[in-house]
Amino acid sequence: MASHPRHLRKQLVVVGHGMVGHRFVESAISRGLTETYDITVIGEEPRPAYDRVALTSFFEVGAQALSFLPSGRYDDPRVTLRVNTEVVAVSPRQRIVTLASGEDLHYDELVLATGAAPFVPPVPGHDLENCFVYRTIEDLEAIRDAAKKAGKSGVGAVIGGGLLGLEAANALHQLGLETHVVELAPRLMAVQVDDIGGKTLSRHIDSLGLTVHTGAMTEAVLGDKKGRVDRLALKDRNPLDVDIVVFSAGIRPRDALARAAGLDVAERGGVLVDESLRSSDEHIWAIGECAAVGGMMYGLVAPGYDMAEIVVDRLLGGEGSFTGADMSTKLKLLGVDVASFGDAHGQTEGALELTYQDAVSGVYKKLVISEDGKRLLGGVLVGDAAAYGILRPMVASGMELPANPEELILPTSRGGLEMDLPDDMQVCSCNDVTKGEIKEAVSDEATLNDGGPCVDAACVTAHTRAGATCGSCKVVVKKIVEDHFAATGKEVDRSLCQHFRMTRQELFDVVAVHGYTRFDDIIEGHGTGRGCDICKPAVASILASLLNHHVLEPGNRQLQDTNDAYLANIQRNGTYSVVPRIPGGEITPDKLIAIGEVARDFGLYTKITGGQRIDLFGARMEDLPAIWKRLVDAGMESGHAYGKSLRTVKSCVGSTWCRYGVQDSVGLAIELELRYRGLRSPHKLKGGVSGCARECAEARSKDFGIIATEKGWNLYVCGNGGAIPAHAQLLAGDLDKDTLIQYLDRFLMYYIRTADRLQRTSYWMDSIDGGLDRIREIVVDDALGLGAELEAAMDKHVESYFDEWKATIEDPEKMARFVSFVNAPGVPDPNISFRDERGQIAPADNEGPVALGPTIPVGAPR
C-alpha cells in the first residue's frame, strides 16, 4: 500500500515509552497504522523502553541487555521517539500536548501510556537520604551507589512484601546487603498466595539469609545527624538498624495529566476508560497501568499488552474491546518458583481445594476445583511451579479435569504435558496465544520463517510472542512444537533452552573444543540473551566437569544453585548439613571420634545414611567453615552431598571378613570412590561393590554396580533408586580390575558428555538408540574410537582433584560469604531454633508429627 501524502497524514502522539507504550508502537507498525498516521512517542525516562519485569537482572547484565530498542529508534521512519522528554500539559479542546521545553505538539489521536508510580507511605522520615523506590533503572543505579557506600556491613530494608517488594529485596541481596522485608499483611504476596503458600515462601527466603517480618507496621524512618537513614521504627517491635530503605508498598496510576486536562478519572485513581479504552474525550485513549477500565486498574504487563492491541485495532476501524484480564502470575523470586492463577483463594461458591505439601523440600501446591470436581478454577504453586504452564490454560479453557486431578500436582506427575489440550486453549496469557496458533506457526502452510513454517520453539516465540514476556509458558510452547513435529514425522529440536540452539552434549563439545572457562564467553560466542535457570546450572556443570575448578571462583559462582553456592545442602529450617566423605564406608576410630566431637561441640543431629556415611544436620551457615576445618584437620574431606557429582560407592565387607566373599569389595569401593570423587555430572552418581552374588551392597540399584565373581568382577550400569527405581544391567562380566576401571572410566565420561541436564543414567540409557547394546559398543568395543580420549579425560580429573572445603578454608575471599549478618559476623540467625527429639535436635517448626519435647532457644546450651 502506498503511503499517504504528508499533508494528509494524521498525527498520533503516545505519552509514555514503557513496556506497554512500546508494545503499542510495535503493533501499530506491524498492523499498518503508520500508513495513515505519523507517530510521535514521548518518553520521560532517559532511555527507550526496557524489560521492567526483569529489572533485578540489571546488576548482572546491564541496561543495554534489558532494552527493547537498543538502537534508540524504530525502523519505520514514520515513528519518532523522543526520550528524556516530559509532557506537562494536555489540551483536549485544541488537541495539543505541551512539553516541559514549552514546545507544543498537535495530535489527532492521543494515547496515554504513562504507567504508574510507586506508592510511598507518608511515614515520618520517608524523604531522608538513602530512602528509595524500586521502579526504574535510575532507581537501581542510585540504590547500587548507596550500597557501595554502606560497604560490606550494610543493611537494607524493603517496605512491602508483594511482587515488587520481593524483587527489590532480591536486588538488595544481590548487592551484598543484609536484607530485611517488612510486610504489613500477615504473609508475603498476600494478593497472590494463601497462608500456607506465604509461609512456605517465607521459609525459602529466610533460608537464603534474608529476614522476613510479616504483620509488621512501619511507624517511622529515623535518621542520623546528617539526615541519612539510620533506623526503621516498627510498631510493637524492636527497631531495625538500617542504612538503606526501599519503599515498595504498591503503585498508583500516573493520571495527573488526565486530571489537569479535565478527563474523567476513577474513584481510586486512573484514567477512566470504557471497553474500547477510550477516555471521556473521544480522541484520547489510555492503556496500561494508568488506565482504569470501568474503574479497575490492572497492574500487570499482560493486560496492558491487550489494551495496546485493542487501541490499535480501534484506530484501524476494528471493534476490539477489553472485557477483563487474566491476573495469573508466575515468577522466580530469590530463586523460588511462585505462581498464582485463576481463583487462587477459592472464592467461588462451593469450590473445593486439593493440596499437596512437602515441608522438607519447601513445596506447596493447591488446586481450587469446582464443586462437581470437573473444572479447575485456580491454584497456588510455591517451590515448584513446573505445572503452571498447563494448569493456567486449563482454567481459561474450562476443559474437564482428568479422573485423578491430584496427579497434576503430585511429584511423580509429568505436569500434565501429555494431556490432549484443545486447540482453542490459551497457552500464553501475556500475548493471548492459543495452542492452535502455535501449531499453525509450525504447519507446512505457514509462511513465517523465510517464507516457510517455523522450525523450532524459538521461532514460534519470535513470531507469535508466546513466551516472549514473562516466559512461564515456554515449556508448554516447546512441548506443543515437539509433539507436532513428532506426529508429522519431522525432526524435533532438542535445544537446551532458548539461549542455546544446541543440546547439552553439543554445548559440552563446544566448551571443550574452545577451552572456555566463563559463562559470559560461552553465551557471547554461541548463544543469545543473558541465560536462564536452565542453561546457567547446565553450563556450571559442564565447566566443573571439564575444568575441575572451584565452584566459587569469581565469574561462575553466580551460576550455582543454593547448595553449591555454600558447599552444603540447605535444610528446611535454613540450616545446613555436613557430610564428610567416608570411602567405601570404612572409617578409622580417630576419624569416627572426630565426627562425634564435632557433632557434640556444634550441637548437630547425626544419622548414619544408607550410603555408609554419617550426616550431620543443623549446622548454621557461619559455623560451616569451623566445622569443616575440624574435619579437614582430622583427615576428612567433602562428601559432595550438595553437588551433582559422585556421592558414594557403597560396599559390603567382602572377602576380608565375610565367609561368602570371593573378592575384596571394600578395597575396590575405596579405590573407585577416591578415583571418581568430585566428578561433576548431569545428575548425582552412586556406586556399589558387592563381594559376592549375595549382593549385600545393593550394587544393582546404583548408577554403576560391581559384583564379585570367582574370575573377577561383573560390571552393571544405569541403575538408580528414587521415586522410579531401575535395576542396573550387565555391561561386561568376569573383568580384571584394570579392565573394570578402564570400562568404568569410559562409561562415566561418555555419560557426562552426552546426557541431558538432570538426566539420570537409567533415563540416559533409554534415550540412546540401541540402549545398553549401543553403550556396550562404545564403552567395551570402542566402536567410535573414543576410548583413549575418554580415559584421558578421566585421568585429567583424577590428577586435578582437590577438596573444595579445604580450598575454601584457605581462601579469605571465599570464607567471607559464610556469615548470617555481614555487619555482625558473630551474631547467629535468631530465626533458627530447635526442639528435642529422641535426644537430638530437630527443627522447631517441624510440620510433620511432633514428638513431645521442649523448644531449644537460640543461645541455649545444647
Q: Is 497 annotated as a binding residue?
A: no
Cβ burial, residue 563 (10 Å; 0-12/13-18/19+): middle
Strand partners, 500: 497
Phi, psi (deg, nearest 5) at residue 129: -65, 140
Residues contacting 718, CB < 8 A, separation 6+: 703, 726, 728, 729, 761, 762, 764, 765, 772, 775
* 3-state SS, one letter per residue, for 13-40: EEECCCHHHHHHHHHHHHCCHHHCEEEE
Torsions phi, psi for 798 (to 5 deg): -65, -45
DSSP tag of 823: T
Residue 692 labeled ligand binder: yes
DSSP string spanning 172-225? HHHTT-EEEEEESSSSTTTTTS-HHHHHHHHHHHHHTT-EEEES--EEEEEE-T
Known binder of ligand: residue 718?
Answer: no
Q: How many CB atoms lie within 10 A of CB 824?
A: 13
Distances (CA, A) of 681 to 542, 640, 647, 676, 753: 8, 12, 11, 11, 9
Residue partners of 225: CB distance under 8 A and separation at least 6 = none
Cα dist from 165 to 180, 181, 207, 787, whole Å: 11, 8, 18, 54
For residue 15, report the phi and psi dihedrals to the nearest 5 degrees.
-100, 110
CA proximity to 583, closest of 652, 685, 671 = 671
CA dist., res. 706 & res. 617, Å (int): 31
C-alpha–C-alpha distance, residues 344 and 718, integer Å: 42
Is residue 294 within 8 A of residue 325, CB to CB? The reply is no
426 closest CA partner among 478, 376, 387, 473: 473
Annotated binding residue 658: yes
Cβ within 8 Å of residue 360, ≥6 positions away: 572
Number of H helices, E strands in the chain: 26, 40
CB atoms within 10 A of CB 59: 16
From CA 174, how far away is CA 167, in angstroms rounded? 11
Place of cell 527466603: 205
The CA-based angle 396-401-406, given to 5 degrees, is: 115
What is the distance between the alpha carbons of residues 407 and 387, in angstroms, rounded to a whole number?
A: 11
Nearest to 125 by CA among 17, 250, 230: 230
Binding positions are 652, 658, 692, 696
Annotated binding site for siroheme: 696
Which residues participate in the annotated binding site for [4Fe-4S] cluster? 652, 658, 692, 696
